[in-house]
Chain A
Amino acid sequence: MDSQVDTDRDAVVTSERLRAGAREWLARHSYSVRICHWINVIAGGYLVVSGIHIFLDFPELYWGHTGYQGYPALFKLSDWGISWDEAGAMGNRMWGRNYHFTFAWVLLINGLVYVVWNIKTGHFRDRMLPRRDELTPTHLGADLRNQLRWFSPTRVSATNYGTLQKVSYLLLIFFFMPLMLLTGLAQSPGFTAAWPWLLDLFGGRQSARTLHSIGTVVFVLFVLVHVLEVLRAGALNRVRAMITGRFQLPREET
């Protein structure tokens, strides 16, 4: 296919140019994206670590409204070789609770700022909504094959997000994050007194806790894939672009 040939050639040309020390810069990320991104890194990091601390103090998962030590569990850390006492010794739930709720607020406010800011600037519409022609099976298949080819990356686009990248970011922002917020709130006696529908939505407080925990694993996997993609696409250039906003481009092909 033509596009395949093009992208392969692009990649070769890109690496040649970079080796040749070409210097051409592109404004890659707006202020809003960069500021919000690094706040997310801090808040997300604290949320995962503090959430694990909270979990370790009660390392079992249940389904429904009820769950306590001795009640039939879906998951027990003790089945995986870490006893209740060992887990408790590793976790500090007071520290965990204090920082979890603090950074939940940071992430929520930052997320709202990011969404409102980028709807206003047109970032979502122009750069993150997949175009119609991007959503064809052929294109998605080609994009997926590109993603899986670790050693010969092609089409490391300087200016556009890839289609799978767009879809995964949009799912993260508009589906996954709200789900984590709601499964979190469904565990709170205060919020569920105000919004009892939260309990019905997830089938109970313990179900919400289980979904929240599974969500944590999904989030960590997302971050791992995200970091691997950055490494593959050129860590220095990508991270620099997320800090300074400027992305180093190869010189125009003559």
Chain B
Amino acid sequence: MSKPVSSQKEQQGAYPSRISRRRLLSSVSALGGLLVTGGCSDAFMPPTLRGGLIGVADVLTMSTNRWLLADQPLAREYQPSDITIDFPQWHGPPRSEEYQQLVSGQFSDWRLGVTGLVKQPLSLSLQDLKRLPARTQITSHVCEQGWSAIGQWTGTPLLRVIEAAGGVTSSARYVVIDTFDGWYEGYDMFEVVHPQTILAYGLNGEDLPIGNGAPVRLRVERQCGYKSLKWLKSIQVVDSMVGFGKGTGGINSDWGFHWYGGV
């Protein structure tokens, strides 16, 4: 069972509607001196640059976005009346035997490994995750194909999970998330520390449906839907995206899409 927490309450409490620069800095320093290690320039460039005009445009788009978002404002949050009743599911669930077994066990055997450049690697059950501070947000999913739908997501901020693992070491640059359908994506710390970047286990007050990414999916509200991975398997903190897929920083950019999905 998910336990929805009103977003209003959250906004008054742990998550102000507009995170202050000071708070951001303290969040980041809690992550272990990230700013010193090049966290700043990471925010303006993808892990690998594409050639030619497309590469130039990638950097222009990303740096413009990150400059405008420097104060880490929240993406628009909607009213309960705006919620889309049948939130699209689009792709079917993972077919792997591993995932099917987790489904038949109602995800009681699911464990989310939090490993890599963290001080205390973790293995979280769904219950463990739900015991961490929660956030509920009514946001618009923006698919790069062109569709959009509004859902109420409840989950644990990714930053809280990283903090539960003792924070990151000084060389950490990206958080890599793997899924049961073989997808992976890397996220820079700018996206990781954002309050709306959550590991969602609830949709519209219910447990997250399988078609929407059960038991847990990611929500990255300031980027296109392909960055909000479903069916999460593991979390690793790394210093480089080299060695993951083609090294571009995610499966979508391996295929040739933008790594930064803000447009």
Residues of B within 8 A of A110 (CB): none
Enumerate chain A residues within 8 angstroms of B146, measured Cβ to Cβ: 54-55, 57-58, 67, 187, 209
Given A68-B148, A97-B144, A102-B53, are A192 and B65 neighbors across the interface (CB < 8 Å)?
no
A194 within 8 A of B: yes
Residue of B nearest to A205 (CB): B148
Considering only residues 130-163 of chain B, those with a C-beta below 8 Å from chain A are 140, 142-150
A188 and B255 within 8 A (CB): no
Q: Contact flags (1/0) for B194-238 with A, using CB distance below 8 Å?
A: 000000000000000000000000000111100000000000000
A68:B68 contact, CB within 8 angstroms: no
Please report which residues of chain A, range 76-118, place their CB below 8 angstroms from some CB of chain B when the two chains form the complex: 93-94, 97-99, 101-102, 104-106
Taken together as a complex, chains A and B put the C-alpha atoms of A5 and B250 apart, in Å, by 69
Q: Does A66 contact B (CB under 8 A)?
A: yes
Provided the pairs A58-B145, A58-B146 are in contact, do residues A101 and B262 lie with their beta carbons within 8 angstroms? no
Interface size class of chain A, counting residues whose CB lies under 8 Å from the partner chain: 35 or more
| Residues of the B chain whose Cβ atoms lie less than 8 Å from the Cβ of A105 | 56-57, 60-61
Q: Which residues of B contact A66 (CB under 8 A)?
A: 82, 84, 140, 148-150
User: Which 10 pairs from chain A and chain B are nearest by CB?
Assistant: A190-B262, A58-B146, A194-B68, A68-B147, A102-B57, A190-B65, A193-B75, A189-B142, A193-B222, A188-B263
Do A193 and B73 have beta carbons less than 8 Å apart? yes
Q: Interface residues, chain B, CB within 8 Å of chain A?
A: 53-54, 56-57, 60-61, 65, 68-69, 73-76, 78, 82, 84, 86, 88, 140, 142-150, 221-224, 255-258, 260-263
**Inter-chain contacts of A189 with B (CB < 8 A):** 75, 140, 142, 221-224, 261-263
Cα–Cα distance between A65 and B79 once the two chains are bound (Å) = 12
Q: Is A242 interfacial (CB 8 A cutoff)?
A: no
Whether A190 pairs with B263 at a CB distance below 8 angstroms is yes
Tell me which residues from 181 to 206 in chain A have a Cβ below 8 Å from any Cβ of chain B. 187-196, 199, 205-206
Min CB gap B88→A, angstroms: 5
A51 to chain B minimum Cβ distance, whole angstroms, is 11
Report how far A188 CA is from B148 CA in the complex, Å.
11
Rounded to whole Å, the gap between the CB of B155 and the closest CB of chain A is 18
Q: How far is the CA of A59 from the CA of B145 in the complex (A)?
A: 10
- Please tell me if A159 contacts chain B, counting CB pairs below 8 Å: no
CA–CA, A99 and B258, complex, Å: 11
Chain A residues closer than 8 Å to B262, beta-carbon distance = 188-191
Q: Does A15 count as interface, using CB distance less than 8 angstroms?
A: no
Tell whether, in the assembled complex, residue A190 and residue B222 are in contact, meaning their CB atoms are under 8 Å apart: yes
A101–B57 Cα distance when bound, in Å, is: 7
Q: Known: A69-B147, A94-B255, A97-B257. Contact between A193 and B76, CB under 8 A?
A: yes
Residues of B within 8 A of A206 (CB): 148
Q: Of all chain B residues, which has the CB nearest A109?
A: B60
Partner of A67, one of B78, B86, B147: B147
- Most chain B CB within 10 A, of A54, A55, A71, is at A71
